[in-house]
């Protein structure tokens, strides 16, 4: 593996935009996608997190266990159709009752995502659409592709898995350059943080390793 050559001095965008999109790079990356998605809620925001998707989506991927993922209350809103899920997502964002609303829906139009962006700003919440892919036009400020990485080595037992890690690739960012970061789970804060070997190097080239630091995401 090559030594890290940072592609940009840009830092990981810790504060989420009102509306973002994120997809899993492949079927095995769904767990990493949900871990990343739940980490995008606003810091120190005690409001619950809403997850809406079709019943078929929940049957395929299962129901997340909130206390083990983000330390926040989770509200599940199964829908019969994608249109119902979009409606639930918009209403939750506009209400201001949630800190983060996730909608696992495909095929949202530019007009629909504009409504979601406006609703998120109106409610002071964060909206995250979770489509199967990142095709088509969207009003989301950032579009992410999430991949699973091998976990860190346990500090007390090198044979045991350590903190869970993932790669967050910024495919498109409004006014931001694309790139990728290695993130790892912080079990104390229930948040993701920059992995030690990348934290001081900002935006990292995909598939490369880096140097230590300790900036939290």
Tell me, what's the pLDDT at 29?
96
Q: What is the pLDDT of residue 10?
A: 66
pLDDT of 204 higher than 70: no
Least reliable range by pLDDT among 34-43, 63-72, 106-115: 63-72
Measured distance CA(43)–CA(93) in Å, rounded = 17
Pick from 131, 201, 134: nearest CA to 171: 134
Q: Give the domain 19-145 fold.
A: Rossmann fold (3.40.50)
pLDDT reported for residue 67: 62
Please list, in sequence order, all residues whose beta carbon lies within 8 angstroms of the beta carbon of residue 180, skipping any fewer than 6 positions away: 167, 168, 169, 170, 203, 204, 205, 206
Cα separations in angstroms, 174 against 17, 49, 141, 146, 178: 10, 25, 5, 18, 10
Mean pLDDT of the chain: 83
Write down the pLDDT at residue 163.
83
Segment 63-85 shows an average pLDDT of 83
Q: Which residues pair with 186 in a beta bridge?
A: 191
pLDDT: which is higher, 66 or 139: 139
Q: What is the mean pLDDT of residues 159-173?
A: 89
Residue 71's pLDDT band, with cuts at 50, 70 and 90, is low
Domain locations along the chain: 19-145
What is the structure's pLDDT at 8?
42
pLDDT recorded at residue 1: 33
| DSSP 8-state assignment for residue 1 | -
Query: Is the model's pLDDT at 65 over the cut of 80?
Result: no
Task: Go through 177-204 and write b for each residue having 16 or more CB atoms within 10 A of its CB, e for each that does not.
Answer: eebbbbbbbeeeebbbbbbbbbbebbbb
Enumerate the β-bridge partners of residue 77. Answer: 52
Tokens of 167: 């790669």
**What predicted TM-score, i.e. pTM, was given to this entire model?**
0.82
- Least confident among 65-69, 102-106, 160-164, 174-178: 65-69
The predicted structure's pLDDT at residue 69: 59
Range 138-152 average pLDDT = 94
3-state secondary structure of 175: coil
């Amino acid at each position: 593996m090559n030594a890290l050559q940072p592609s940009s001095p840009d830092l990981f965008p810790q504060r989420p935009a009102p509306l973002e999109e994120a997809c899993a790079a492949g079927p095995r990356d769904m767990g990493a996608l949900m871990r990343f998605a739940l980490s995008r809620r606003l810091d120190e925001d005690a409001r619950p997190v809403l997850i809406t998707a079709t019943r078929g989506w929940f049957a395929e991927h299962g129901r997340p266990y909130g206390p083990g993922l983000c330390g926040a209350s989770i509200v599940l809103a199964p829908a019969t159709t994608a249109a119902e899920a979009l409606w639930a997502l918009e209403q939750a964002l506009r209400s201001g009752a949630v800190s983060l609303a996730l909608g696992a829906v495909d095929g949202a139009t530019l007009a629909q995502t504009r409504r979601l962006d406006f609703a998120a700003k109106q409610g002071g919440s964060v909206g995250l659409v979770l489509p199967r892919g990142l095709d088509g036009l969207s009003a989301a400020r950032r579009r992410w592709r999430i991949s699973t990485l091998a976990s860190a080595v346990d500090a007390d037992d090198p044979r045991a898995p350590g903190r869970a890690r993932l790669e967050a690739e910024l495919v498109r960012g409004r006014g931001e350059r694309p790139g990728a970061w290695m993130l790892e789970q912080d079990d104390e804060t229930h948040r993701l943080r920059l992995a030690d070997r990348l934290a001081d190097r900002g935006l990292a080239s995909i598939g490369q390793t880096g140097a230590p630091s300790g900036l939290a995401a």
